[in-house]
């Protein structure tokens, strides 16, 4: 990792060490827990977009805010939405570090593909329980409406995972299955999130022997992220698993629009998104 990053970690050692990317949305470059960096590094797919090539190497990048998944035509017919939307590659501004370098906030002005503008107000914090919490506020700062779409692309290096590593969550068939679902090189599926009483849906990945037997738990606010997309790819030079909470089901934009699932964000309006994750050992049988 040679590009400038900001590191967050608690002085008491609780929780992981995380590296933030000021050059691209204050996304996560690396996450260290159990003696390992869980990010995939260069073992990723290259779809030809240098922004995404850079971002996929990290543990989390944010797709959106007006599109995610692969490019589709703009409504005007003049051009296409870029791969995974416009956010990636936009630098963070007004970065503030506080609480003993265990929290960071910033804003990210974004130029949208259709000429609109938005600002993402972002805050990361590592809590006293070791939970890493992300709070995002998306504001339409332009003069035209757009349909917000957001996907959190959490990428785990497959080199860490083994036959004992499983995915578990109420939204998965049978409550879970091995991490290497489907035959190689893998594939994609998207399911409705199963929210618990607090409004958050949860999925876990573990145990990971190469990281001290830790399990990763991801929780996300199902009010704004009502779907979970999963992606896996393992072939020569590529080995990555993606856990991807998202705002829309797996359909083309035209299908979503026809179904009334693309409500507009008017100038000045706001949407809120929340995601958090933690690592817990085998002795902790009850993830929160």
pLDDT digits (tens, 9 = 90+) for 207-264: 999 999 999 999 999 999 999 999 999 999 999 999 999 999 999 999 999 999 999 9
Segment 11-16 mean pLDDT: 92
Pairing of strands 151-157, 17-21: unpaired
- Per the model's pLDDT, the better-predicted residue between 100 and 270 turns out to be 270
Residue 194 has pLDDT above 60, yes or no: yes
Residue 87 has pLDDT above 70, yes or no: yes
The fraction of the chain above a pLDDT of 90, given in percent, is 93
Residue 147 has pLDDT above 70, yes or no: yes
Segment 163-174 mean pLDDT: 97
Q: Counting Cβ atoms within 10 Å, is residue 184 exposed (0-12), middle (13-18) or buried (19+)?
A: exposed
Cβ-contact 242, 232 below 8 angstroms? yes
Task: Reply yes or no: is the peptide bond before residue 209 cis, omega within 30 of 0.
Answer: no
pLDDT of residue 245: 98
Q: pLDDT band at residue 2, thresholds of 50, 70 and 90?
A: low
User: Which of 154, 155, 233, 254 minimizes the C-alpha distance to 188?
Assistant: 233
Cβ-contact 225, 232 below 8 angstroms? no
User: Which of 272, 186, 256 minimizes the C-alpha distance to 222?
Assistant: 272
Q: Domain 6-280, CATH 2.70.98.10 — does that match? A: yes
pLDDT of residue 77: 86
Average per-residue pLDDT for the chain: 95
Per residue in 123-144, pLDDT tens? 999 999 999 999 999 999 999 9
Residue 99 has pLDDT above 90, yes or no: no
Segment 103-117 mean pLDDT: 97
| DSSP three-state, residue 182 | coil
Q: How far does the chain reach from its first CA to its final CA, in angstroms? A: 32
What letter would DSSP give residue 137? E
| DSSP three-state, residue 234 | strand
pLDDT of residue 100: 74
Residue 284 has pLDDT above 70, yes or no: no
């Amino acid at each position: 990792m040679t590009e400038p990053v900001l590191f967050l970690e608690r002085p008491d050692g609780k929780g992981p060490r995380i590296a933030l990317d000021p050059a691209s949305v204050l996304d996560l470059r690396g996450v260290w827990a159990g003696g390992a960096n869980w990010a995939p590094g260069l073992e990723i797919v290259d779809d030809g977009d240098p922004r995404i090539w850079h971002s996929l190497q990290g543990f989390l990048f944010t797709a959106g805010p007006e599109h995610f998944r692969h490019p589709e035509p703009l409504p005007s017919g003049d051009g296409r939405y870029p791969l995974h939307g416009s956010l990636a590659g936009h630098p963070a501004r007004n970065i503030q570090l506080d609480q003993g370098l265990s929290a960071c906030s910033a804003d990210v002005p974004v130029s949208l593909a259709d000429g609109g503008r938005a600002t993402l107000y972002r805050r990361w914090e590592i809590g006293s329980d070791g939970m890493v919490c992300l709070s995002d506020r998306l504001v339409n700062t332009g003069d035209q409406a757009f349909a917000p779409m957001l996907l959190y692309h959490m990428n785990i290096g497959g080199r860490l995972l083994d036959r004992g590593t499983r995915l578990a969550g109420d939204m998965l068939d049978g409550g879970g299955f091995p991490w290497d679902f489907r035959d190689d090189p893998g594939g994609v599926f998207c399911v409705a999130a199963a929210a618990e009483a607090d409004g958050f849906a949860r999925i876990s990945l573990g145990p990971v022997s190469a990281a001290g037997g830790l399990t990763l738990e991801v929780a996300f606010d199902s009010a704004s992220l009502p779907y979970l997309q999963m992606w896996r790819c393992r072939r020569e030079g590529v080995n990555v698993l993606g856990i991807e909470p998202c705002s829309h089901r797996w359909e083309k934009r035209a299908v979503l629009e026809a179904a009334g699932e693309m409500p507009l964000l008017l100038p000045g309006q706001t949407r809120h998104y929340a995601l958090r994750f933690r690592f817990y050992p085998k002795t902790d049988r009850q993830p929160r």
